[in-house]
């Protein structure tokens, strides 16, 4: 184990190296570029025995790793924002072909206006595609989640691609101490990939996804849905096993319970700002408020069981969103209210869009406002989301 002070991007590149990735293809885009630059350097210097395929677009990048993965290789790519949107078609091809590719998505707002800072809109466009989607909350977790992603995705019970989302700049360019396990130990725990669910190779021709009866499409989606359901167990087991094998921390599986169970008020958040939210929760608890936080680590599969468990005795739940579904609520807010099925009133706050800085003081006022609103009796079962924009005189829903 070595403790290094590295940025989120460098941590992901290190994770790709120790995971024994064989093929990388990517197209540069801020703030992801450093990941693939660092990998390219390691391949060039011979520190990584891998093929690096240069391409002319993100669509081609994911198409290239699709081919590599279909050929049995362990494959990785990374992108952000507009790059992810450009590869959107291939996202579905990869998932529907059940190829366990791992992709880092360094989250970045979508333009216009041009903006390189983070919100969650880009990664969440993959919501329904069949990718497992995780959100890291620290540089260490970005490293851990990337290594774990290969183990989870390649599990024969799962065989789904995994997206590791890490906040642009807030994690990608922020340097923090990271404990990096020895490469040999990781390789032992994560042996070379078994070429499943199929392997394309010369001399044994077959075609993937030939035109067939409509029922076949539906059956394939059903099988995929079952695999996604099974992945809940695999994600949890891998989290525990990883912590044991490498002497690192276990995060809690699909979600992290921070004083949430048996609290009167439960806050739900995901990504790097969850740490800021935790500090606010701690401060409120020290002031006598019975409040806790559920951090969503995996957005797909969604931790609805965990959420129901921690909010069993809750009076109200608050979902703080960094993405909004135009015409409805915040994206996380929608997930939280649907998972709770009307059992508990859910307030939804939208903040930090376009990378607007949200710190512990902001979370303090958002959470305290939510508790006061509930106590005054003004939180209904369903309400319009509230836009948190303290710099504007007029805000609200």
Partner 1 sequence: MGFSYKPLNPEREGFEDLKAFAEKLLAKPSPGSAGKTGMWRLYRPVVSVGKCVKCGICWLYCPENTIIWPFRGIPSVDYDYCKGCGVCSEVCPAKAIDMILEGE
Partner 2 sequence: MLREFLILSRGGQGGVTASRILASAAVLEGLWAQAIPEFGAERRGAIVKSYLRVSDGPIARHSNVRRPEGVAVFSSRILDLVDISKFAPEGSTVLVNAAEKPKIPGREVYYVNATSIAVGLGLVIAGWPLVNTAMSSAMARVFRIASLESVVSALSEYFKGELLKANIEAAKIAWDSVSG
Footprint of partner 1 (CB under 8 A): 97-98, 156-159, 196-198, 205-210, 212, 216, 219-220, 223-224, 226-227, 229-230, 232-233, 236, 252-253, 255, 257-259, 261, 305-306, 309-310
Q: Say which residue the tokens 């959107």 belong to.
A: 88
From 28, 301, 11, 40, select the one nearest 146 (Cα to Cα). Answer: 11
Which of partner 1, partner 2, none sits in contact with 358, Cβ below 5 to 8 A by type? partner 2
Interatomic CA distance for residues 341 and 370, integer angstroms: 20
CB 121 within 8 A of CB 355: no
Q: Is 197 exposed, middle or buried (0-12, 13-18, 19+ CB in 10 A)?
A: middle
Which of partner 2, partner 1, none sits in contact with 212, Cβ below 5 to 8 A by type? partner 1
Terminal-to-terminal C-alpha distance of the chain: 49
Which CB sits closer to partner 2, 3 or 384?
A: 3
Site for partner 2 in 1-20 (CB under 8 A): 3, 5
Name the minimum Å distance from CB 142 to partner 2. Answer: 12
Name the minimum Å distance from CB 310 to partner 2. Answer: 19
Neighbouring C-alpha atoms within 13 Å toward the C-beta of 252: 20
Q: Is the dihedral of CA 177, 183, 184, 189 positive or negative?
A: positive
- Is residue 125 part of the contact set for partner 2 (CB under 8 A)? no
Which CB sits closer to partner 1, 40 or 196?
A: 196
Name the minimum Å distance from CB 278 to partner 2. Answer: 5
Encoded tokens for 129: 């595609």
CB 101 within 8 A of CB 153: yes
Residue 193: count other Cβ atoms within 10 Å of its Cβ.
19
Q: Which of 14, 141, 276, 306 binds partner 2 (CB under 8 A)?
A: 276
- Is residue 54 part of the contact set for partner 2 (CB under 8 A)? no
- Is residue 216 part of the contact set for partner 2 (CB under 8 A)? no
Which CB sits closer to partner 1, 303 or 330?
A: 303
Name the minimum Å distance from CB 198 to partner 1. Answer: 6
Which CB sits closer to partner 1, 14 or 141?
A: 141
Which CB sits closer to partner 2, 112 or 205?
A: 112
Give the interface segment with partner 2, choosing from 40-48, 84-92, 103-111, 268-276 (CB under 8 A): 268-276
Buried b vs exposed e over 110-124: b needs ≥16 C-beta within 10 Å?
beeeebbbbbbbbbb
Encoded tokens for 157: 């019970």
Which of partner 1, partner 2, none sits in contact with 241, Cβ below 5 to 8 A by type? none
Q: Is 13 exposed, middle or buried (0-12, 13-18, 19+ CB in 10 A)?
A: buried
Site for partner 2 in 309-368 (CB under 8 A): 357-362
Alpha-carbon distances, residue 335 vs 85, 96, 161, 352 (angstroms) = 22, 23, 21, 18
Which of partner 2, partner 1, none sits in contact with 209, Cβ below 5 to 8 A by type? partner 1
Which of partner 1, partner 2, none sits in contact with 78, Cβ below 5 to 8 A by type? none
Q: How many chain residues interact with partner 2 (CB under 8 A)? A: 26
Which CB sits closer to partner 2, 41 or 89?
A: 41
Name the minimum Å distance from CB 259 to partner 1. Answer: 8
DSSP states along 104-164: EEEE-PPSSSP--S--SHHHHTTTTTT-EEEE--SHHHHHHHHHHHHHHHHSTTT---EEE
Q: Is 109 exposed, middle or buried (0-12, 13-18, 19+ CB in 10 A)?
A: buried
Residue numbers at the binding site for partner 2 (CB under 8 A): 3, 5, 31, 116, 138, 167, 169-171, 173-177, 272-273, 275-276, 278-279, 357-362
């Amino acid at each position: 184990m070595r403790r290094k002070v590295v940025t989120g991007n460098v941590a992901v590149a290190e994770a790709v190296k120790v995971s024994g990735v064989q093929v990388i293809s990517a197209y540069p885009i801020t703030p992801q570029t450093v990941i693939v630059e660092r990998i390219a350097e390691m391949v060039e210097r011979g520190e990584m025995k891998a093929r690096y395929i240069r391409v002319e677009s993100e669509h081609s990048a994911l198409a290239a790793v699709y081919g590599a993965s279909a050929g049995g290789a362990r494959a990785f790519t990374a992108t952000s924002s507009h790059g992810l949107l450009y590869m959107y078609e291939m996202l579905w091809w990869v998932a529907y072909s059940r190829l366990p590719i791992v992709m880092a998505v360094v989250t970045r707002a979508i333009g216009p206006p041009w903006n390189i800072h983070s919100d969650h809109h880009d990664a969440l466009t993959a919501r329904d595609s069949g990718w497992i989607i995780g959100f890291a909350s620290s540089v260490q977790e970005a490293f851990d989640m990337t290594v774990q992603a290969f183990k989870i995705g390649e599990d024969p019970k799962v065989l789904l691609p995994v997206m590791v989302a890490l906040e642009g700049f807030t994690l990608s360019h922020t340097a923090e101490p990271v404990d990096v396990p020895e490469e040999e130990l990781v390789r032992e725990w994560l042996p070379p990939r078994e070429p499943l669910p199929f392997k394309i190779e010369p001399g044994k021709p077959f075609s993937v996804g030939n035109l067939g009866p409509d029922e076949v499409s539906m059956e394939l989606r059903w099988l995929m849905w079952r695999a996604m359901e099974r992945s809940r167990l695999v994600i949890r087991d891998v989290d525990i096993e990883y912590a044991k094998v490498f002497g690192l921390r276990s995060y809690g599986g699909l979600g992290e319970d921070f004083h949430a169970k048996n609290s009167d008020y439960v806050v739900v958040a995901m990504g790097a700002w969850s740490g800021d939210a935790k500090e606010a929760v701690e401060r409120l608890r020290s002031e006598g408020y019975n409040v806790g936080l559920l951090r969503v680590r995996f957005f797909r599969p969604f931790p609805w069981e965990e959420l129901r468990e921690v909010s069993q005795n809750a009076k109200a739940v608050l979902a703080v969103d960094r993405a909004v579904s135009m015409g409805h609520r915040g994206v996380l807010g929608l997930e939280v209210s649907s998972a709770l099925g009307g059992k508990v009133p859910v307030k939804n706050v939208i903040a930090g869009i376009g990378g607007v800085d949200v710190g512990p003081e902001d979370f303090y006022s958002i959470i305290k406002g939510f508790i006061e609103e509930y106590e005054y009796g003004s939180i209904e079962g369903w309400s319009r989301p509230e836009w948190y924009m303290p710099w504007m005189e007029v805000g609200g829903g």
